[in-house]
Every structure is written in structure tokens, then in C-alpha cells.
């Protein structure tokens, strides 16, 4: 599994961190003039957004992302591709139908990356590499293999990540109206009241008929330009045909195939005989399982063993990063205008849309 794939698996599920990491894979969003819509309270609009549901949709999603990440010369192709997803402008064609059907085609530099699943089979295709992977999905998967990528290109899923961060420390207001993808929308603005987050505000452009978020704009706490702007440039709420989610690899493409095991049945295991039982230590969480520390805007993710060894560009970053220490141990801290990361000497990585001090406070509470 490449660096890009490993990184996405633990970044995407984590509240706002997941959103910022994932939505960078899309291009600039253009909104039209403000439409005249009936007044609505923030509470009513929030309730409609949280309960909105459509049977399917399709369209073109674009985004512009500037997290303040540095450019690193000489980066390995896989790592470079992942960082490219977190910067610049990108465009994708998307289609969703129900919880288990999705197709995402990312168009970049005369190349195409396709992720599609019909609920039974998933395909991942990279035209630049001339490679495709066919993944046979069980009726009851042990762990979703493609859902994180689906969420990364779905403005509604991105919005839900930020909505999940709402708590008493969040100010919620209706800040006006706008037209997105030719549809009238209300602007629902979320403002963290905590100084621990690097997020200044998140604005959702909410469709006035379906109540589906059409656009997400993330502003940093410092600066006037958006850190992330993700949304539809065109959209249809007709349910895509079943054939939309099928895929036939082009001739000459190398195809690999694997089958995802089904989740084990939940069976009650009888207790072992007292005479034969021996005390055992609890197992430590697997490498790909993140631990979330804190709640809402202050959430920090901890993972173990995710950084590759011997990566030259990464070594460059760490060499320039300041050394910090505390009751949690010692390590180096990397900061941008949105994302902060703490890499400890004992092999833990803390990351979040928070200040460096908040990262260290989370490290002090985290298990070793």
C-alpha cells in the first residue's frame, strides 16, 4: 500500500481534519449573484441541513486548496501525488446513489483517476500509471475500503464533518444568500468561539430546495483568503443510472484483483476453563487505527507508525521543524496556517486543525 493510500485511510475519518485533507483533491468554485430568498433562522436552516437526504445526484465538483504546505523537491512520486491532492486547484466528476454507489473521476494534468463502486465491486484506476485494481466487496464488509474516498469528493459529506464539530462553543448564523451551480442557496456560517482551532469560520452554501450543501468554504483564523473551497460547478439531483457505476479497464491496463473479507459474525465465546486461563495484556490498536483526543473544533488525531522511514523530503521538513518537549516526551512540530502536526520521538503522530500548543496538550493526555 502506497504512502498516499495509507495517509488517506487515517486522515479522512477524522472530523474536520479529514475534510481538509480530502477536499484538496478537487478546483476553484465560482458563485453567482445573491438571490432573493425568504428569511430563515439559523436554527431552522441547521435542522434542514442535518436531515437533508436525496436518492442520488451527479455533477462536477471543483475546489481550491491552500493549506500553506511547503513544496518539497525530489519527493517520491506517491508522496508527491498525495501532497498534490492537498494543494492547488482540481476538478472531479462525481455521481452518488444511495449509501453504497459512488463514482469519482479526478481530472488532473491530462490524466484521470477513477474510483467507482456499485456496492458489490469497486474499481480504482489511474490512467497515468496504466493500472487498475478490482476489489470484490462482501455483503457485510469488515471495514469500508472505498467510503473515505467517496466522502472526500462529496460536498454533503464534507459539510457533515464540520457540522459534527458544532458544540456550545460554535456560533451559527445565516450570513446571506448566493447562487451556486445555478441554484439558489442560503449561506450557513459556523464560527468556532475557541482560540485553540486554526479554523476561523466554515460557510455552507445550502440548496434552498433540497437543503443539500452545494459548497463548503473554510477560512483560516488568520488571513483573508479561503484555505479550502469545495463545491459543485454543475449538479443534477436525478438518480444516476446503474451503468454509471460500472467500469471496464482500457486495453493494456494492468489489473490486480483482491477480495475484502466479510465482517465476522458476532458470536458469544464461552469463557475459558479457570485452570487453563492465563492473564493477557490488552492488545494495542493497529497501525491504521487512529485515536481521537478532544471534541469538536479542538479534536486531535493520534496515529502510530504512519511516517515512512528514509523519505528524503520528509527528513527535510523534520530537520527544519523546531524541537519541543513536555510531560508527553519530546519531538518536532510542523505548522501551517491550517494544519499542525507533532511527531514524537517514540513514534506517535498528532495532527489537527489546532494550534501547536493544543497538540502538545493532547499529547499529554494520550496513551503511549
- pLDDT tens digit sequence for 130-179: 999 999 998 755 444 444 455 566 788 888 888 888 888 899 999 999 99
Please list the rounded mean pLDDT of every run of 10 residues in the chain (368 residues).
35 36 38 82 95 94 78 45 58 90 87 92 93 88 48 78 86 96 97 94 97 95 89 96 95 93 60 44 50 90 70 66 92 89 91 94 90
Q: What percent of the chain has pLDDT over 90?
A: 51
The predicted structure's pLDDT at residue 263: 65
The predicted structure's pLDDT at residue 27: 34
The predicted structure's pLDDT at residue 131: 95
Q: Average model confidence (pLDDT) for the chain?
A: 79
- pLDDT tens digit sequence for 304-342: 875 555 555 566 677 778 999 999 999 999 888 888 999
pTM of the model: 0.76
Three-state secondary structure call for residue 111: strand
Burial class from Cβ neighbours inside 10 Å (0-12, 13-18, 19+) for residue 190 reads: buried
The strand pairing partners of 256, in sequence order, are 133
The predicted structure's pLDDT at residue 152: 62
The sheet with strand 348-352 has its strands ordered as 291-293, 300-304, 348-352, 340-344, 329-335, 323-326
The strand pairing partners of 244, in sequence order, are none
Other CB atoms within a 10 A radius of the CB of residue 245 amount to: 22
Give every CB contact of residue 326 below 8 A, 6+ residues apart in sequence.
360, 363, 364
Which among 246, 240, 244, 245 is positioned nearest to 55, based on CA atoms? 240
The predicted structure's pLDDT at residue 311: 54
Distance separating alpha carbons of residues 20 and 102, to the nearest angstrom: 20
The predicted structure's pLDDT at residue 23: 39
Cell output for 109: 494534468
Distance separating alpha carbons of residues 241 and 58, to the nearest angstrom: 10
The strand pairing partners of 205, in sequence order, are 187, 215
Amino acid at each position: 500500500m502506497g504512502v498516499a493510500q495509507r495517509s488517506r485511510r487515517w486522515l479522512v475519518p477524522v472530523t474536520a481534519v479529514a475534510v481538509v485533507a480530502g477536499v484538496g483533491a478537487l478546483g476553484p468554485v465560482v458563485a453567482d449573484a445573491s438571490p432573493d430568498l425568504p428569511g430563515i433562522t439559523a436554527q431552522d436552516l441547521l435542522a434542514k441541513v442535518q436531515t437533508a437526504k436525496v436518492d442520488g445526484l451527479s455533477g462536477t465538483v471543483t475546489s481550491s486548496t491552500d493549506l500553506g504546505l511547503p513544496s518539497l523537491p525530489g519527493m517520491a512520486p506517491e508522496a508527491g501525488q498525495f501532497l498534490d491532492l492537498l494543494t492547488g486547484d482540481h476538478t472531479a466528476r462525481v455521481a452518488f446513489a444511495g449509501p453504497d454507489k459512488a463514482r469519482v473521476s479526478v481530472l488532473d494534468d491530462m490524466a484521470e483517476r477513477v474510483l467507482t463502486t456499485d456496492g458489490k465491486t469497486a474499481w480504482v484506476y489511474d490512467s497515468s500509471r496504466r493500472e487498475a485494481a478490482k476489489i470484490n466487496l462482501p455483503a457485510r464488509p469488515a471495514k469500508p475500503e472505498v467510503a473515505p474516498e467517496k466522502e472526500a469528493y462529496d460536498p454533503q459529506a464534507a459539510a457533515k464533518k464540520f457540522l459534527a464539530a458544532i458544540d456550545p462553543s460554535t456560533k451559527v448564523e445565516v450570513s446571506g444568500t448566493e447562487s451556486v451551480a445555478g441554484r439558489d442557496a442560503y449561506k450557513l456560517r459556523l464560527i468556532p468561539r475557541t482560540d485553540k482551532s486554526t479554523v476561523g469560520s466554515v460557510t455552507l452554501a445550502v440548496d434552498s430546495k433540497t437543503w443539500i450543501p452545494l459548497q463548503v468554504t473554510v477560512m483560516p483564523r488568520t488571513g483573508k483568503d479561503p484555505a479550502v473551497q469545495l463545491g459543485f460547478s454543475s449538479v443534477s439531483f436525478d438518480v444516476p443510472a446503474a451503468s454509471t457505476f460500472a467500469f471496464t479497464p482500457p486495453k493494456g491496463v494492468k489489473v490486480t484483483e483482491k477480495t475484502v473479507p466479510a465482517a465476522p459474525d458476532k458470536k458469544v465465546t464461552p469463557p475459558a476453563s479457570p485452570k487453563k486461563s492465563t492473564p493477557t495484556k490488552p492488545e494495542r490498536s493497529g497501525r491504521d487505527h487512529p485515536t481521537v483526543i478532544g471534541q469538536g473544533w479542538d479534536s486531535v488525531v493520534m496515529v502510530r507508525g504512519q511516517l515512512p522511514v528514509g523519505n528524503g523530503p520528509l527528513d527535510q521538513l523534520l530537520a527544519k521543524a523546531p524541537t519541543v518537549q513536555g510531560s508527553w516526551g519530546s519531538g518536532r512540530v510542523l505548522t501551517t496556517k491550517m494544519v499542525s502536526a507533532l511527531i514524537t520521538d517514540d513514534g506517535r503522530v498528532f495532527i489537527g486543525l489546532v494550534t501547536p500548543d493544543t497538540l502538545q496538550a493532547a499529547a499529554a493526555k494520550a496513551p503511549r
